[in-house]
Amino acid sequence: MSNNPEPRKPPTASPTPAGGDPAAARVEVHHHHHHYHGGRRRAPRPVAEGGLPYEQVLAEAQSRRLVKAGLGASLVGLLFYAFARFLVGADQGFAIFFGLFAAAASGLSIFLNTGKLREADYRRVQGSRYADGTHRCIHCGNSGIWRQSPYQTLTVIAKCSKCGQYLWNESK
């Protein structure tokens, strides 16, 4: 500022306070400036009615996995027995052992590679959908889904994109 005792006349675009200091006017004008922080808040999305408890849906899915594993193992065991006995000409003891081993291995493989829940199972869980039918995380309420596939598998794991909790498995 100058040593002149008379205040300088400020530009007409910015009003000056009673003291006449243009720097104070800029601060004062900036201080009174209000920022707009969005519109009105959206109402919470309604959650779909009905559904079953998560534990019940999970138990049904695991029961289905056991049935699949049992049927798959039986079929594979029978095929391997027939292969060893009739096509290769092995004795009956070896063919039975070969069939049982193949059945156990395939049953375990089917059981381990079948997902905990399928998307159809998940949609039956209480709180898993909004009223408009879109997905909803039962853990945090988020609607985003993050899908990832473990390396060299045909399985896709669907997780919540916000909290990261498991939702269901899919096949590629």
Residue 164, pLDDT score: 93
Residue 69 has pLDDT above 60, yes or no: yes
DSSP 46-86: PBPS--B-HHHHHHHHHHHHHHHHHHHHHHHHHHHHHIIII
C-beta separation of 111 from 69 below 8 A: yes
Mean pLDDT of 21-50: 60
Local confidence band at 63 (pLDDT 50, 70, 90 cut-offs): confident
pLDDT of residue 111: 67
Give the DSSP letter of residue 100. Answer: H
What integer pLDDT is reported at residue 71 of this predicted model? 79
Confidence of residue 84 (pLDDT cuts 50, 70, 90): confident
- CA torsion sign, 106 to 109 to 111 to 116? negative
From CA 82, how far away is CA 69, in angstroms rounded? 20
Residue range 97-134, pLDDT digits in tens: 877 877 777 777 766 655 578 888 988 999 898 889 88
Alpha-carbon distance of 34 to 166, in angstroms, equals 43
Q: Which neighbouring-strand residues pair with 158? A: 147, 168
Contacts of 49 (CB under 8 A, 6+ apart): 131
The Cα-based distances of 73 to 36, 95, 104, 140, 151 in angstroms read 65, 15, 6, 39, 25
- pLDDT, position 39: 60
pLDDT confidence bin for 66, thresholds 50/70/90: confident
Angle (deg, nearest 10), helices 92-113 and 54-82 = 150
Q: What would the mean pLDDT of 18-38 be, rounded to a whole number?
A: 51
126-165 confidence digits (pLDDT tens): 989 888 988 899 999 999 999 998 888 888 899 999 999 9
* pLDDT for res 73: 78
